[in-house]
Amino acid sequence: MNGGAEPAARPEPDARERAYASGFEAGRVEGERAEQARLRLALQAAVDAVEALRANEAQWTGAIEENIAALSGAIARHLVDREIKADDTSVARLVRRALDAFPIDQPVRIRVHPSDLATISTQPDAGECALAGAPTREAHWLGDPRIAPGGCLVEGRDRIVDGRVETALERVYRRLTYQDA
């Protein structure tokens, strides 16, 4: 009937089930391997992202700390300026404290802002107040526009005492940001 060809033998039901199970298992194993590879890539991407965040976190934290320190310095400067304006004797007291670092017999040059020098000059005994304890001290007062109001720079033969507000605030800023002061 079919021209001499024998009909193809049908596999036995057990062989068919085994072939199906074998193919299913091979597909499952291949699918698991593909999924594991995909998960490995996804996990590595997540690890890389976390490492990048951690690396940038230190930079962000450092920038935030510096910004807070700078803001603190600006606030301190504002408060100091307000106190200086409210107290005409603050510069004279600052000079007196700076003079404590010098021997009494050493001549000194006292640099203050010209407006502070004018204020000290118009106050009765303000200059003497700054020189209290050493009225015979040789002191030369100079109005120096490079010195900001409220500060002073006292120069002697062996040393200089820097009582400028900016210098003090800079030292505080450097300490807050862990820079060498």
Query: For the segment 104-141, what is each residue's pLDDT rounded down to a tens digit?
Result: 889 999 999 999 999 888 876 655 555 555 566 888 99
Q: What is the pLDDT confidence band of residue 179, given thresholds at 50, 70 and 90?
A: confident
Query: Do residues 94 and 153 make contact, with C-beta atoms less than 8 angstroms apart?
Result: no
**Better-scored residue on pLDDT, 121 or 41:** 41
Lowest mean pLDDT: which of 54-63, 75-84, 126-135? 126-135
Residue at token pair 């001290």? 137
Q: CA 129, CA 111: separation in Å to the nearest integer?
A: 16
Closest CA to 117 of 99, 103, 130: 130
Region 75-100 average pLDDT: 89
Locate 159 and state its tokens: 């040393």
Tell me which residue of 109, 113, 94, 96 sits closest to 163, measured CA to CA.
Answer: 94
Nearest Cα to Cα of residue 153 among 66, 80, 94: 94
Contact 114, 150 (CB under 8 A): no
**What is the pLDDT at residue 120?**
84
Across the strands, what pairs with 153?
A: 111, 162
User: Do residues 181 and 145 make contact, with C-beta atoms less than 8 angstroms apart?
Assistant: no
Give residue 98's pLDDT. Answer: 92
3-class secondary structure, 144: coil
> 12-21, 37-46, 100-109, 169-178: lowest mean pLDDT where?
12-21
Mean pLDDT, the chain, as a whole number? 85
Mean pLDDT of 47-73: 87
pLDDT over threshold 90, residue 163:
yes
> Can you tell me which residue has the tokens 């005492």?
161
For residue 47, the model assigns a pLDDT of: 92
Predicted TM-score (pTM) of the model is: 0.60
Q: Does the pLDDT of residue 181 top 70, yes or no?
A: no
Percent of the chain whose predicted confidence (pLDDT) is above 70: 85
Give the three-class secondary structure for 153. Answer: strand
| Residues contacting residue 165 through CB under 8 Å, at least 6 positions apart | 77, 80, 81, 84, 148, 150, 151
Indicate the domain borders of the chain. 13-86, 88-176
Instruction: Write down the pLDDT at residue 124.
Output: 64
Higher-scoring residue by pLDDT: 55, 181: 55
* β-pairing verdict for 152-155 and 108-112: antiparallel
Nearest to 146 by CA among 116, 101, 108, 107: 116
Query: Residue 170's pLDDT is what?
Result: 92
